[in-house]
Amino acid sequence: MANHKSALKRIRSNEAKRVLNRYQHKTTRNAIKKLRELTDKKEAESLYPSVASMVDKLAKKNIIHSNKAANLKSSLAKHVAAL
């Protein structure tokens, strides 16, 4: 158990950040799955910018690596273009 007031606060703040990061990451993964399952080009083109934005936000907050974000966006763009 933590002995300092600041350590207790750090435990609380880490838990709050962990929950928020987990929520954002899961939401983004679900959006990516939804985009990959689409077969209609118009729908996919309208959904792609929001998914790319979500991926960028995760990379900016270091929830995922920036290279992973670039790879995800690239593969999704290819998928949308191939429809």
> Is 20's pLDDT higher than 80?
yes
- Look at residue 1 in the predicted model and tell me its pLDDT: 74
> Is 28's pLDDT higher than 90?
yes
CA-CA distance, 14 to 37, in Å (whole number)? 34
> Is 3's pLDDT higher than 90?
no
Query: Range of 29's domain?
Result: 5-82
Number of domains comprising the chain: 1
- Would you give the distance in Å from CA 39 to the centre of its chain? 22
CATH of the domain at 65: 1.20.58.110
Chain segment 49-81, per-residue pLDDT in tens: 999 999 999 999 999 999 999 999 999 999 999
